[in-house]
């Protein structure tokens, strides 16, 4: 998701190449008889600064509460998440908020605004309340921005 990957789908009609985000909506949308046979990531994405963060509620062996993946390209950071709702996702409005670091808002303010853009997504389940997940996500985003943006 964060690397703007393409997938190659094989069907009875042959092969088709599509952006992953065009085929993914809460899950991979394939028609009957279709099969993913290749995932293509452009070479220039392979060496970009990136982060993978997994947080659990109790221990490292516990089921992940939230997983975050971030990739920085051209001063913009792409984010994808799992554990916040029933499916993995990438949320462009959140990225836009977090990437506007020159509009006199502190890192903390941008993170609070970004999380509020996700409020309807955040799932309350056995692993954690929505409030707890927002708290953990705030810390994860802060650490990610600190790492990928630097100390700005």
What backbone torsions phi and psi does residue 35 show, to the nearest 5 degrees? Answer: -145, 135
Do 60 and 89 fall into the same domain? yes
Do 33 and 83 fall into the same domain? no
The Cα–Cα gap between 134 and 130 comes to 6
Q: Which residues contact 110 (CB under 8 A, 6 or more apart)?
A: 97, 98, 100, 101, 145
- Structure-derived torsion over alpha carbons of residues 19, 89, 50, 54, reported in degrees to the nearest 10: -150
1 found inside a domain: no
Do 20 and 83 fall into the same domain? no
98 found inside a domain: yes
Do 31 and 91 fall into the same domain? no
Do 18 and 89 fall into the same domain? no
Q: Which residues contact 133 (CB under 8 A, 6 or more apart)?
A: 65, 66, 83, 84, 122, 123, 124
Please name the residue ranges forming H helices in 65-129.
92-99, 107-116
Which of these, 121, 118, 89, 120, lies nearest to 25 by C-alpha position? 89
Which of these, 107, 95, 3, 93, lies nearest to 48 by C-alpha position? 3
The Cα–Cα gap between 125 and 144 comes to 25
Do 39 and 55 fall into the same domain? no
Do 55 and 23 fall into the same domain? no
Residue 152: its pLDDT value, please?
44
Question: How many domains are contained in the chain?
Answer: 2
Do 58 and 126 fall into the same domain? yes
Residue 62: its pLDDT value, please?
65
DSSP-based helix, strand, coil % in the chain, nearest 5 = 30, 30, 40
The Cα–Cα gap between 127 and 122 comes to 12
Residue 25: its pLDDT value, please?
87
Do 26 and 56 fall into the same domain? no
Residue 49: its pLDDT value, please?
95
Residue 140: its pLDDT value, please?
96
Do 36 and 90 fall into the same domain? no
- Residues 91-114 pLDDT 10s: 999 999 999 876 788 999 999 999
Please identify every stretch of the chain with a pLDDT value under 70, giving residue numbers as ranges. 58-62, 102, 151-152
125 found inside a domain: yes
15 found inside a domain: yes
Do 89 and 37 fall into the same domain? no
Do 86 and 122 fall into the same domain? yes
Instruction: State the CATH number of the domain containing residue 62.
Output: 3.30.390.50
For residue 28, give its domain range: 6-44
Residue 126: its pLDDT value, please?
78
């Amino acid at each position: 998701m964060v690397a703007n990957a393409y997938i190659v789908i094989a069907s009875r009609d042959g092969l088709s190449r599509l952006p992953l985000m065009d085929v993914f909506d809460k899950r991979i949308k394939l028609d009957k008889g279709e099969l993913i046979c290749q995932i293509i990531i452009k070479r220039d994405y392979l060496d970009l600064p990136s982060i993978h963060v997994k947080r659990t509620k109790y221990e490292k062996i516990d089921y992940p509460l939230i997983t975050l993946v971030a990739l920085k390209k051209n001063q913009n950071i792409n984010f994808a998440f799992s554990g916040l709702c029933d499916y993995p996702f990438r949320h462009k409005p959140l990225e836009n908020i977090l990437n506007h670091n020159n509009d006199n808002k502190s890192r903390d303010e941008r993170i609070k605004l970004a999380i509020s853009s996700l409020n309807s997504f955040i799932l309350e389940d056995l692993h954690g309340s929505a409030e707890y997940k927002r708290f953990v996500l705030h810390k994860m985003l802060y650490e990610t921005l600190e790492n990928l943006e630097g100390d700005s």
